Amino acid sequence: MRARTLMTTLVATVAFPAAAYAAPPTEPVESIVCRGISAVGFSYAWGGECWCGDACTPDLTNCSPGTCTPNAGSTGCPDCTHSGKYGADCSGFVSKAWQVPEPFAVDACGVDRYVASSFTSDHEYWDVVPMSGLQPADAVASSTHVILVIGAKDGAGEHEVVEAKGCTPGIVRHSRTFASSYSGARRINLSSCVCGDGDEETKNCGDCGTQKRTCEGACLWSAWSDCDGPDPTGAEASCSVEGAKGECAVGRRVCAAGWLSCQTASPATEVCDGLDNDCDGTIDNGTPDSLGEGLPCKNACGDGKSKCIGGAVQCVSTGECSGPTTDAGGGVAGGSGASNWASGTDDGGGCSCGVVRGTKHMLLAPLLGLIGLLALRRRRA
C-alpha cells in the first residue's frame, strides 16, 4: 500500500493510512487550472495553504494577500516572517489546487497538505508522468519545490505555470522551463475534455458588447476576450447631450468596452463656418484671427478686408459693385451671376459685395418698373 506523506500546520512530515482521506473529486482540468490562477497575487507563506478566489479570479479586495519579509541576513524562507492570514508555500499551493488530501475550500487555512517531495513519486492520488508529456493541471516537482502547470509547451520550450516562487515574488503566473531534477505528476479523477478543439463560445456583456473564447490545446477554454461590440448605425447612431451647446450638443453613439456612450466633440477654436465650434451658444463669434477677418483682399468693389458673413469669409470693401464678390482666397463667395449681387454697406459703412439679394426683391423690381411704365402711357394718352 502506498503511504501518503502530508504536511501539517507545524510543517511536520507524517504518514496517514489510506482510509484517513477521501479520493480527490472528479473534475475537469479547467477546474484545477482555475483554482491555481485564483491564488496569483497572494503572498508566499512558509507552511501556508490558503487564499481567496472566485473561480479563476483572485479576490485581493476582500482578503489581504499577506506579506512575507526575509529576516535580517536572509534571502528568504524558511528564514522569513509572514504577516496576514492568507498565503501559501509551493507544496501547500499545489495541494490545495489539486484538492488533496481533501477537497478543502481555497480559503480554508491550517489544513493538511503534502510536501514538495511527495509529488516526485507515484501515489494513490497521482501518477508520475514523463516531462515530455506535460499537460495543464499537471505538477512538476523536485525534492524541494513543486509547481502547477497551466499551459502546454510553447515554441520556446516553456510552459505557462503558477508557482509559489518565494518570499519576495509571492505566488506568480509566468512561463518557464524546468531543470533535469524535476519530474512530472498527474492527479487522478480528471474528467474528459470540457470542450472540443476549435469550439467557440460567446456571451453578452455590458449593454452592447460580447465576449468570445475558443477551445485550445489540452481541451481547455481560453480566457474570455475583452468586452467589445459594434457601434450603432442609422437612426440609432445619433445622440445629444442635455445642457450642452453648439457642436458639443450633438454626437454619435459608440460601444466602448461593451457599454453605449455618446461621443461628442470637445469645444474648439471658433472659425467662420456657420457652426458654434466653441460650444458657447453663439455662432461665428471668435476672434478676428480665428475667423479670418481683417485680411487684405480684392473683389469687384476694389480693395477691401475679409469679414465673416453668413458662415463664410467674404471680401468687404468700399466702392461700386460690378459683379459677384470674391472671398479672401480669391473664390466667388456667393451666387453665380452679377444679377444676384448688390451694393450695400457693411457694419463699417463700406461696400459689401457679398450680400445676396432676396428672391422676393429681385421679382418686385421688374414688376414695379412695369407698373410705372403703364402709368406713364396712360397720362400721355
- Determine the pLDDT at residue 219: 67
In a domain, 223, yes or no: no
- Determine the pLDDT at residue 323: 47
> What pTM, to 2 d.p., does this model score?
0.52
Ramachandran quadrant class, 56 (left: phi over 0; alpha: psi -120 to 50; beta: rest):
alpha
In a domain, 123, yes or no: yes
At position 94, the amino acid (one-letter code) is V
- At which residue does the C-alpha cell 481560453 appear? 222
Please indicate, yes or no, whether residues 169 and 47 belong to a single structural domain of this protein. yes
90-103 average pLDDT score: 97
Whether the Cβ atoms of residue 29 and residue 136 lie closer than 8 Å to each other: yes
Please indicate, yes or no, whether residues 244 and 175 belong to a single structural domain of this protein. no
270 has a pLDDT exceeding 60: yes
CA distances 208 to 161, 200, 229, 256, 259, Å, are 34, 20, 6, 9, 6
Work out the pLDDT band at 12, boundaries 50, 70, 90: very low
Query: Looking at residue 141, which CATH number applies to its domain?
Result: 3.90.1720
User: Looking at 264, 280, 302, which one is the last position of a domain?
Assistant: 264
CA distances 247 to 240, 262, 269, Å, are 10, 13, 11
In a domain, 343, yes or no: yes
Please indicate, yes or no, whether residues 38 and 157 belong to a single structural domain of this protein. yes
- Determine the pLDDT at residue 357: 35
- Determine the pLDDT at residue 199: 87
Work out the pLDDT band at 299, boundaries 50, 70, 90: confident
Distance CA 131, CA 147 (A): 13
Please indicate, yes or no, whether residues 61 and 135 belong to a single structural domain of this protein. yes
At position 310, the amino acid (one-letter code) is G
CA distances 193 to 31, 62, 210, 216, 217, Å, are 12, 33, 25, 11, 10
In a domain, 260, yes or no: yes
- Determine the pLDDT at residue 29: 87
- Determine the pLDDT at residue 287: 95
DSSP H helical segments within the chain, as ranges? 29-37, 90-98, 288-291, 359-380
* Other Cβ atoms closer than 10 A to 282: 12
Please indicate, yes or no, whether residues 24 and 139 belong to a single structural domain of this protein. yes
Range among 64-78, 287-301, 350-364 with highest mean pLDDT value: 64-78
Provide the residue count of the chain. 381
- Determine the pLDDT at residue 302: 83
CA distances 305 to 107, 284, 318, 369, Å, are 79, 17, 10, 35
- Determine the pLDDT at residue 325: 46
359 has a pLDDT exceeding 50: no
Range among 11-20, 178-187, 229-238, 340-349 with highest mean pLDDT value: 178-187
Better-scored residue on pLDDT, 198 or 100: 100
CA distances 362 to 4, 337, 339, Å, are 107, 13, 9
| Mean pLDDT for the chain overall | 82
59-66 average pLDDT score: 96
- Determine the pLDDT at residue 377: 53
Whether the Cβ atoms of residue 51 and residue 106 lie closer than 8 Å to each other: yes
Write the pLDDT tens digit of every residue in 161-194: 999 999 999 999 999 999 999 999 999 999 876 6
Please indicate, yes or no, whether residues 102 and 36 belong to a single structural domain of this protein. yes
Please indicate, yes or no, whether residues 260 and 285 belong to a single structural domain of this protein. no
Better-scored residue on pLDDT, 49 or 347: 49
In a domain, 199, yes or no: no
In a domain, 334, yes or no: yes
Beta-strand ranges (E) seen in 248-373 are 250-256, 259-264, 296-299, 302-309, 312-317, 351-352
Please indicate, yes or no, whether residues 289 and 151 belong to a single structural domain of this protein. no
90 has a pLDDT exceeding 90: yes
Please indicate, yes or no, whether residues 102 and 241 belong to a single structural domain of this protein. no
Q: Which of 49-53, 106-110, 247-251, 364-368 has the lowest mean pLDDT?
A: 364-368
Work out the pLDDT band at 84, boundaries 50, 70, 90: very high
Work out the pLDDT band at 3, boundaries 50, 70, 90: very low
Q: How many domains does the chain have?
A: 3
Distance CA 211, CA 12 (A): 47
In a domain, 197, yes or no: no
Work out the pLDDT band at 320, boundaries 50, 70, 90: low
In a domain, 195, yes or no: no
Q: Which of 14-18, 38-42, 146-150, 161-165 has the lowest mean pLDDT?
A: 14-18
Please indicate, yes or no, whether residues 179 and 63 belong to a single structural domain of this protein. yes
CA distances 115 to 7, 11, 98, 111, 147, Å, are 6, 8, 13, 13, 12
Pairing of strands 159-166, 146-149: antiparallel
- Determine the pLDDT at residue 79: 94
The residue segments making up the domain with residue 165 are 4-187
How crowded is the C-beta side of 234, counted as CA atoms within 13 Å?
Answer: 0
Please indicate, yes or no, whether residues 259 and 311 belong to a single structural domain of this protein. no
262 has a pLDDT exceeding 80: yes
347 has a pLDDT exceeding 50: no
- Determine the pLDDT at residue 11: 39
- Determine the pLDDT at residue 208: 94
195 has a pLDDT exceeding 50: yes
Work out the pLDDT band at 197, boundaries 50, 70, 90: confident
Please indicate, yes or no, whether residues 306 and 347 belong to a single structural domain of this protein. yes
DSSP H helical segments within 241-323, as ranges? 288-291
Write the pLDDT tens digit of every residue in 274-283: 999 999 999 9
